[in-house]
Amino acid sequence: MASTVFYRLRRGARRPWVRVALFSVAGVGAALASALLAPLIPPDLGKSIGADAVDQILSLLATSMLPVATFSLATLVQAYGGATNTATPRAVTLLMEDTRAQTAVGSFIGAFVYGVVGLIALKTHIYGEQGRVILFGLTLLVIALVVVTLVRWIDTLSHLGRVGETIDAIEAAACDAIRRRADAPHLGGLPWCPAPAGATRIVAADTGYVQHVDAAGLQAVAEADGLTVHVAALPGRFVHAGRLLAEVDGPTDAETRTRLAAAFVIGGRRTFDDDPRFGVIVLTEVASRGLSSAINDPGTVVDVLGALVRVLALWSERRAMAPAAPLHPRLRVPGITTDELFEDAFAPIARDGAGTVVVGLRLQKALSALHAIGDAEFARAARHHADLALVRAEAVLSIPADLAVLRAARDDLGRPD
């Protein structure tokens, strides 16, 4: 199924070694291209550049780039460890997929490979006088690219692995997933309804989390065989061998059931791509870590609450713009409810921050903002969690002045009409 293949390729392309390997191959190709392009250079011009000039520059690249790449990798490992300790281990995946860091390390290793291959080819007299001219020009270009990459890398290092940078990365991933799901609330299908009695069960063969559902592939199989597929497991659902993935209304054979089961990608961990609730949960984990006694950083919680308001506001905005006509009319798919998103976002913060007035006040203001910008469903969920947060705070706080501040903030949100 095309969507599943594309999903796996997209996930694989984000692995750090892929970009490094591409830059290394490019370095080898650039070093050997000089020999192939040598006939394009006039013979008289080839005599103007000696082998010693190119040799020294290539030696400089080969000896300097490997230590720079090693230092960069060590810095990345430290940044990942810092994000694990101060934010959440779930965010490390996003840092590892940062294209800026991958490009920097890949450029340094690619320049090192280019220098080594160029030196070997130069010592074995592969280039000749004309090839050295092209090699000299390519070397100057490589040096310029390395300098630009170093300047950008220095800027990246100034905030790599910081809590604020990590929150921004999680928010961006959550917004991407929210945007895709809000544009297709039921994966492009119709709202879920119970399958009729006697429907065929499609069950999981592995244990793990559903990471991707190929809705287009399910629609193609269902349309070809005249079936209706009732999806039971969305991305983010934990399943085990034999757990229900979907129910099929209509006659099926073994091959059809295998194709339907292949539309569900199951992995060992939740991912951000197609799982909007996971991004919200990870943001909340950062806030809970900031409220722990080991870190005790309410400012982080304030930043997370701002990010959560933006994510949920995007959900409200994009959901109202979702197309009415389904792309996959033979699918019946459950949607994500506002109550689920609010529960993921605010219940842990209200619980862990009940004893902190600053957190409680910011939480009430965040819910007040969502109450104002969302629809009636948002308003109801915001009031419920504002009341719940106030009840939790009243059970922990004992100073009347603190409680008065929180009660006033709750009153500003308003009451149901």
The predicted-structure confidence for 278-337, as pLDDT tens digits, reads as follows 999 999 999 999 888 878 888 999 999 999 999 999 998 888 776 777 889 999 999 899
pLDDT at 302: 93
Last residue of a domain, one of 267, 283, 304: 267
Q: List the strands of the sheet with 244-249, edge to edge.
A: 190-191, 331-333, 228-231, 244-249, 200-203
Regarding whether 154 and 9 lie in a shared domain, the answer is yes
Regarding whether 369 and 245 lie in a shared domain, the answer is no
Regarding whether 153 and 18 lie in a shared domain, the answer is yes
Regarding whether 379 and 245 lie in a shared domain, the answer is no
Predicted structure pTM score: 0.85
Q: Is residue 170 part of a domain?
A: no
Q: Is residue 293 part of a domain?
A: yes
pLDDT at 417: 43
pLDDT at 334: 93
The CATH number of whichever domain residue 211 belongs to comes to 3.90.1170.30
Residue 151 makes CB contacts below 8 A (sequence gap 6+) with none
Task: Count up the domains in the chain and report the number.
Answer: 3
Q: Is residue 227 part of a domain?
A: yes
Amino acid present at 102: Q
Residue 254 makes CB contacts below 8 A (sequence gap 6+) with none
Check if the beta carbon of residue 112 is closer than 8 Å to that of residue 186: no
The residue among 404, 317, 346, 316 whose CA lies nearest residue 412 is 404
* Three-state DSSP string of 352-416: HCCCCHHHHHHHHHHHHHHHHHCCHHHHHHHHHHHHHHHHHHHHHCCCHHHHHHHHHHHHHHCCC
Residue 206 makes CB contacts below 8 A (sequence gap 6+) with 239, 241, 266
DSSP state of 212: E
Q: Is residue 106 part of a domain?
A: yes
Q: Cα–Cα distance between 377 and 369 in angstroms, integer?
A: 14
Check if the beta carbon of residue 180 is closer than 8 Å to that of residue 274: yes
Tokens coding 259: 């194709």
Residues of the chain with pLDDT under 70: 1-2, 37-53, 127-130, 322, 414-417
Tokens coding 73: 């990798």
* 121-124 contact pairs (CB < 8 A, 24+): 121/31, 121/32, 121/34, 121/35, 122/51, 122/54, 122/55, 122/58
The parent domain of residue 383 ranges over 175-179+273-324+334-413
Tokens coding 101: 């860091």
> Given CA atoms 254, 256, 259, 263 in this order, what sign does their dihedral have?
negative
CA 301 to each of CA 263, 333, 341: distance values in angstroms, whole numbers, following the listed order: 38, 34, 17
Q: Is residue 329 part of a domain?
A: no
Regarding whether 298 and 399 lie in a shared domain, the answer is yes
Q: Is residue 168 part of a domain?
A: no
Q: Cα–Cα distance between 284 and 327 in angstroms, integer?
A: 33
Regarding whether 108 and 14 lie in a shared domain, the answer is yes
pLDDT at 47: 54
Residue 209 makes CB contacts below 8 A (sequence gap 6+) with 235, 236, 237, 238, 239, 266, 267, 268, 269, 270, 271
